[in-house]
């Protein structure tokens, strides 16, 4: 229930934010007016003693969210993907949130596996370890299949986690309504929309069948990618609350000392991280949207292995082409073309001046190109780009925000491996290759073929459609001109389909 009973929960939240020192930072990020600041103090300061102290080693907001528990941790993680809402600096701070939570008993995990998969753990697995990782939503156990002895990772949802999340989400909705009521200016940040976005992401992660599906699709898309792997999904051992994937041995990408000791080439690894992300985003339109060091490992043969598929990004083919043209335009320093692409895509209102926009883009790109390779940042470029487009009236596009955020994370991972990596030099071949495949005569032929295939599905019905139209229009003798126009239009469609089919057959 989203009602006043959530006040007590919000008092505890406000008290924790006040005690940790996060209240002032949060209000500054929101640019809160006096009325909201007073309300926050009322909810926080008098009840400060009720707040959780948290880990003093963490920054204030991160400390408060971690202390408040799984739903708040996950909310912070989601906000880290929305720099348009919390700002770039705060998004970066929230990105370091770690789900280092106490595990729940293995006996409960085994009972969940038995209930979900319909067989005792001892029948399905020859062994089942204690938790090897515990996160806000689930924990992971290592096991071996009873039939084949293959090592697998078994992810099990926390008990009653669904109820806990729904309860806190109710409180979030209540808080968002109060914020909008007390601070009309905050509506530009769309608090209710942010909570709705969070709810959608969390409810998706609470059904492990969806994560298994994402892992399976990602594995299929990247099967031929040299030096990149995704653990195999075990569908027969997965369900709503249990997910089983192949076990992965490797060195976490954040363990630089171990990577060096194993003799891996960090420069090549850095390039691989960047190139694989761009390939997945541009080629497939389906990319890992949480590619931090904790979700990437290096196998013994040097292959990059991705883990944790709870947050995936998807962009349609048209948006991929726009994104690629924007990137290559900056790489070639063709700011006029970058501006035109924004107008063609409808990202910037048509009543704005394209030359003024191109000049603003030049002011974004040129200072970055003046830097040495170790300081060139594609993430910084995208951040500046969104600032400019916002000034020119570009509406926020969630899929581009997620893409930008992931690009920043990927770039950070690459630089942690090789601080001197030239982002532009590494990215250029991948972007140009995509453009060569997706923009030009061959791409136009493919688009025409797809269009004809869609029209062709109606081929057997075209005579009936034309006949029915003729009959209807004959009955409307008072509109002879419109009738003739519609009949001519239908005949033109039939002729165009026939011509296109003939043309493509001859290609």
Are 312 and 335 within 8 A, CB to CB?
Answer: no
Task: For residue 459, give the nearest of 500, 506, 503 by alpha carbon.
Answer: 500
Local structure of 401: helix, strand or coil: helix
Q: State yes or no: is 207 an active-site residue.
A: no
d(CA 46, CA 60): 19
What phi and psi values does residue 298 have, to the nearest 5 degrees? Answer: -110, 120
Please count the other Cβ atoms lying within 10 Å of the Cβ belonging to residue 414.
25
Q: What angle do CA 286, 252, 60 make, to 5 degrees?
A: 85
Helical (H) or strand (E) element with 387: helix 378-391
Closest by CA to 340, choosing from 146, 350, 267, 56, is: 350
Residue 111 exposed, middle or buried by CB count within 10 Å (0-12, 13-18, 19+): middle
* Distance, CA of 111 to CA of 311 (rounded, Å): 27
Can you list the positions of beta strands (E) in 84-135?
Answer: 125-134
Q: Which position among 84, 290, 308, 418 bears the catalytic label?
A: 290
State how far the Cα of 243 lies from the Cα of 234, in Å rounded to an integer: 8
Structure tokens at 215: 């892992």
Show which residues are catalytic: 290
């Amino acid at each position: 229930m989203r009602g006043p009973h959530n006040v007590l929960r919000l008092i505890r939240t406000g008290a924790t934010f006040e005690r940790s020192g996060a209240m002032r930072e949060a209000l500054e990020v929101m640019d809160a007016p006096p009325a909201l600041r007073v309300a926050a103090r009322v909810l926080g300061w008098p009840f400060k003693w009720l707040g959780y102290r948290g880990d003093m080693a963490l920054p204030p907001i991160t400390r408060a969210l971690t202390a408040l528990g799984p739903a708040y941790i996950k909310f912070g993680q989601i906000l880290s993907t929305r720099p348009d809402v919390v700002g770039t600096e705060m998004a970066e701070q929230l990105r370091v949130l770690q789900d280092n939570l106490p595990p729940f008993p293995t006996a409960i995990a085994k009972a969940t596996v038995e209930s979900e998969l319909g067989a005792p753990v001892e029948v399905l697995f020859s062994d089942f370890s204690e938790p090897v990782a515990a996160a806000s939503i689930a924990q992971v156990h290592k096991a071996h299949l009873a039939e084949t002895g293959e090592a697998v990772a078994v992810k099990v949802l926390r008990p009653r986690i669904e109820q806990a999340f729904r309860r806190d989400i109710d409180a979030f909705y209540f808080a968002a309504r109060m914020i909008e009521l007390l601070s009309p200016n905050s509506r530009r940040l769309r608090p209710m929309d942010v909570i709705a976005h969070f709810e959608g992401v969390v409810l998706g992660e609470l059904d492990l069948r969806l994560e298994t599906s994402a892992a399976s699709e990602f594995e299929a898309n990247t099967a031929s990618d040299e030096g990149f792997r995704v653990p195999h999904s075990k569908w027969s051992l997965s369900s709503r609350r249990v997910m089983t994937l192949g076990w992965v041995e490797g060195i976490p990408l954040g363990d630089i000392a171990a990577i060096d000791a194993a003799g891996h080439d960090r420069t090549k690894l850095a390039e691989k991280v960047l190139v694989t992300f761009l390939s997945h985003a541009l080629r497939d339109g389906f990319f890992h949207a949480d590619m931090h060091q904790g979700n990437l490992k290096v196998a013994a043969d040097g292959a990059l292995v991705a883990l944790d598929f709870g947050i995936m990004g998807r962009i349609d083919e048209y948006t991929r082409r726009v994104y690629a043209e924007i990137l290559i335009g900056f790489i070639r320093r063709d700011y006029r073309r970058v501006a035109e692409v924004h107008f063609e895509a409808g990202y910037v209102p048509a009543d704005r001046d394209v030359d003024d926009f191109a000049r603003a883009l030049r002011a974004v790109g040129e200072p970055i190109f003046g830097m040495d390779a170790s300081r060139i940042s594609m993430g910084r470029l995208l951040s500046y780009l969104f600032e400019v487009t916002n000034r020119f009236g570009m509406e926020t596009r969630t899929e581009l925000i997620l893409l930008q955020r992931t690009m920043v994370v990927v770039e950070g991972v690459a630089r942690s491996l090789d601080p001197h990596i030239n982002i532009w030099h590494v990215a250029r071949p991948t972007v140009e290759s995509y453009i060569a495949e997706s923009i030009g005569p061959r791409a136009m032929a493919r688009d025409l073929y797809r269009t004809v295939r869609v029209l062709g599905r109606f081929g057997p019905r075209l005579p009936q459609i034309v006949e029915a139209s003729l009959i209807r229009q004959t009955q409307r003798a008072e509109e002879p001109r419109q009738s003739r126009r519609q009949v001519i239009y239908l005949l033109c469609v039939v002729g165009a389909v026939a011509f296109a089919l003939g043309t493509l057959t001859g290609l």
